[in-house]
Amino acid sequence: MSSAITATSATRPTSAAGDPPGTTPAGASQRHLISIDDLTRADIERILDRAESFAEVAGREIKKVPALRGRTIVNLFYEASTRTSSSFELAAKRLSADLVNIRSAGSSVDKGESLKDTVQTLSAYDPAAIVIRSPHAGAAQLVAGWTDAAVVNAGDGKHEHPTQALLDVFTLRRRLGSLDGVEIWIVGDVTHSRVARSNILAFTRMGARVTVAGPPTLIPRDIEALGCAATPTLERLEQADVVYVLRMQHERMTESFVPSLREYVARYQINDRRLAPGQLVMHPGPVNRGVELSAATIDSPQALIGEQVKAGVAVRMAVLYELLVGSPSPAAP
C-alpha cells in the first residue's frame, strides 16, 4: 500500500502521514509498522529524510524536541535486546514522550500473564504507541488487534525487524548517497534471521541487488521469492560493495545446522583475508566476535557497525513521529 505505515482498517485514510492533528475520524484504527513489505520506496525515503533532521537534533547539546510531549509510549520487550531497546527508549525521550519500559523478566509475564492480557493491561494507560519485541513471528500483528495504540514491530521471531532495515538503509544512504545498483551480500544464518528478511525487502526496494550467502542449511529454500539471489559459497564475494554479516542465532537453533563452529569460521567468517579494500561491512549486533566476523574486521574502518547503532535513534524517532504526529492526541476533542 502507499501510505507510510500500515493502516489495519479501511476506516483509516491512507494519506495519513501528513494529516494535521485532529483530522482523523473518531474511532479510526491506528497505523502500525509491522513489516517492510508495507512501505513503498517513497515511504522509506520520507522516513529517512525525517530521520536526517532528527540526526541533526542528536548533534545539539540539548537533544530533545517537544513533538510527543504528553504522549505515552510503552516498550514491551519479551526477548533480549541492547541496541533496539535502548535506541527506542532514547528516541521516545528525545521526542519528549512519557515512557514505560517493560521487560518480560521481572514483569508479570514471569507469573504467566499472557501477551494479550499484558497488552490490555498496558492499554489502560492509553499509550500512543506500543513497541513490541517477541520470540514469536506474528506477535506484533496480534498486538495491533488488541490495542488502540500504534504498534511498532521491534522484532517478531524469525519474521521481521523493520526498524533495523530502515536504520541500515539510512546508514548506507549516508555513506553511498544512494543504494541504486549497489551490490549487497548478506552472509550467514539467514534462516533464523528476521533482519535478513526485512533487509532483503528494504535493500531491493531501494534499488540495491542482494545476494544471500551461507551454508545451505542456513539459507531458506524459497528465499529468492523475496527478490534476492542465493549462493552456498563466498567465492564471488569480491562482487559485493557491502557485506552485511548476520549473527549465528544459537538461541533459535533446535538442531545442529553446521557441523562445527570451526568449520563455519573456516568457510564463512568475514575477515581481512576475504575482504577487499573498499568493501563496507555491516552487522546488526550483537556480534559473536571471532565467529561470523573476525575481531580485526569488527574494529576496522571498513565496518559501519557503530554508525548503524547511532542511526538507530534518529530512525526510530522518525518512525514514532510518522506514526503519532497527525493522529489525534489523547486530549484532542
Q: Which is nearer to ligand NCD, 155 or 215 (CB)?
A: 155
One symbol per residue from 30 to 69: x for binding ligand NCD (CB under 6 A), - otherwise; what is it?
----------------------------------------
Residue 194 binding ligand NCD, by CB under 6 A:
yes
Residue 83 binding ligand NCD, by CB under 6 A:
yes
Nearest to 154 by CA among 261, 68, 82, 66: 82
Residue 247 binding ligand NCD, by CB under 6 A:
yes
When binding is defined by CB under 6 A, the residue of 7, 72, 144, 155 that contacts ligand NCD is 155
User: Where in 113-175 does DSSP place strands (E)?
Assistant: 129-134, 150-156
Residue 164 binding ligand NCD, by CB under 6 A:
yes
Nearest to 226 by CA among 190, 199, 195, 200: 200
Dist. CA 327–CA 21, nearest whole Å? 6
User: What's the min distance (Å) between Cβ of 80 and ligand NCD?
Assistant: 8
Note every long-range contact of 223-229, with CB atoms under 8 Å and residues 24 or more positions apart, other chains counting: 223/190, 226/197, 226/200, 226/201, 227/200, 227/201, 228/186, 228/200, 228/204
**Cβ atoms of 269 and 296 closer than 8 Å:** no
User: What's the min distance (Å) between Cβ of 34 and ligand NCD?
Assistant: 15
Number of residues that bind ligand NCD (CB under 6 A): 11
When binding is defined by CB under 6 A, the residue of 161, 173, 197, 316 that contacts ligand NCD is 161
**Cβ atoms of 78 and 104 closer than 8 Å:** yes
Pairing relationship of beta strands 183-187 and 6-7 according to DSSP bridges: unpaired
One symbol per residue from 271 to 310: x for binding ligand NCD (CB under 6 A), - otherwise; what is it?
-------------xx-------------------------
Dist. CA 252–CA 234, nearest whole Å? 24
User: What's the min distance (Å) between Cβ of 164 and ligand NCD?
Assistant: 5
Residue with nearest beta carbon to ligand NCD: 247
Residue position matching grid coordinates 542449511: 217
Where does this chain bind ligand NCD (CB under 6 A)?
83-84, 155, 161, 164, 194-195, 247, 249, 284-285
